[in-house]
Amino acid sequence: MYMRPGYGMFQQQTAKMRITPQLRKAITILQLSTPELMEVIQQEVTDNPVLEIVSHTGDTNFTPTFFHGARRTELMYDPLLHIASNEVSLERHLKEQLGFIKKIQPSLRRTVSFMIGNLDHNGYLGSTLPEISEVCKIDLVQVEDALKILQSFEPRGVGARDLRECLLLQVQSLADSFPLVSLLIKKHLNEIANYHVHKLTTLLQVSPQEIQAAIDVIKGLNPKPGAVFHIETVHYIIPEVIIERAGEQLVVLLHQAASSRLSVNGYYERMAEVNSDNYELTRFLAGKLHAAKFFLKCLDQRRRTIVRVTQAIVEEQNDFFWKGTGHLKPMTLKQIGDKLGVHESTVSRATAGKYAQTPWGIFELKYFFPSGLQMGLGESASSEHVKSKIKTWISGENSRKPYSDQKLADLLREEGISISRRTITKYREELGISSSVRRKRI
């Protein structure tokens, strides 16, 4: 029988995964960091009258989970958190020194004060002297006198107009005289930056040891004298979980944030029951109660997911928590997902932006998923393990013959870790360690 193609209408059943608004909200709450979660909770409490945060006196800030059956009893108290911070600005510090000078012309005082107000956060003067002369309505000679007064203040180097002037001001204030240092700063900063010691030795007709000593003095100077007074916005990290040792076991403690004290106000539930004949009121309260209970369910699901993921991380990275960062082994999100029976995207959301306080410091949960490098006999080493090796070897190297990146790669290869010189360079730079040329001492 011949069948002709054509258009038509027919019914067919198919199975599809749809992301409902409720599921989307649950996913969003899971991937929030603790500070972001606090903001969302506060917004929910503001928008939904049936939600309330109940304060319990005498409770601790952290709640122990069921991991290994351990419990936490001591209170968390850090006396360092109660030390007053130093918020003296550079401008205030300099103007206090200006106030101590009694015998000074009013026009000079105003000019110095104007200059102080025009310093950047590193202590450099951005305006030119002719511009200051025009604004302050005084002649150029007085502006130069005002600049000398400013440059005599502490910290030395403030009021400089470029790096050379900043370093020279600091050298002039030193007790010992360093003519070679001043010469290098004035004419050979580029050679110093590139560490051309032999070139400078030939050019200046001095020994390499003298050049090295002069470079050491320059390294001790501060290229940004005003930066110490720069007050930056402090970004606090709130650990989502705390991992501690309890005897021969590891304990996972869950942060007890505002979410754990969030509840539904029973008054509104009773109101809905008493006023069941009031359709509008009942409908409004039912919607708010349903939204509140679903929000609490999402928070509970978030807590349980983070705890499960953290417990799996602790079990897989057991050596890290007992022996240190050098024993972190390669691990993937999929490994933890398969271990817990969830998708790796869930593990990714549960670890993104979440921090754990460990015996070795505070780390993002993503830190425990380092990439791996192939070793012999099918084993692998984490990038953190390799970085730890590099740092240890460089700290104990001979400063006259520092390890090159190729030498470090050879040392790792002797231990069965196959790694390229380029990767060594990348890891060394991530550690903030200079190249062997810059580390070399003469």
Structural domains in the chain plus CATH codes: 21-69+237-366 (no CATH), 90-229 (no CATH), 372-439 (1.10.10.60)
Q: How far is the C-alpha of 157 from the C-alpha of 170, rounded, in Å?
A: 6
Token pair, residue 13, equals: 């059943």
From the list 257, 212, 261, 265, the residue with the least C-alpha distance to 239 is 257
Contact between 311 and 70 under an 8 Å Cβ cutoff? The reply is no
From the list 339, 357, 328, 326, the residue with the least C-alpha distance to 251 is 357
Name, in order, each residue with C-beta under 8 angstroms of 436's C-beta and a sequence gap of 6 or more: 402, 403, 404, 405
Name, in order, each residue with C-beta under 8 angstroms of 362's C-beta and a sequence gap of 6 or more: 237, 239, 355, 356
pLDDT at 58: 44
DSSP state of 125: B
Token pair, residue 367, equals: 């830190």
pLDDT at 361: 87
pLDDT at 373: 55
Contact between 108 and 152 under an 8 Å Cβ cutoff? The reply is no
**Per-residue confidence in pLDDT tens, the chain, 442 aa:** 556 666 767 677 776 666 677 778 888 888 888 888 888 888 888 888 888 877 654 444 444 343 333 333 333 344 444 444 456 788 889 999 998 888 888 899 999 999 999 999 889 998 899 999 998 888 999 999 999 999 999 999 999 999 999 999 999 888 666 788 888 888 888 888 777 888 888 888 888 888 888 888 888 888 999 888 866 656 677 888 888 888 888 888 887 654 557 888 888 878 877 777 788 888 888 888 888 888 888 888 888 899 999 999 999 888 888 888 777 888 888 889 999 998 888 899 888 888 998 888 888 898 888 775 544 444 456 677 788 788 888 888 887 788 888 888 888 888 777 788 888 888 888 888 888 777 777 6
pLDDT at 16: 66
- Global pTM reads 0.56
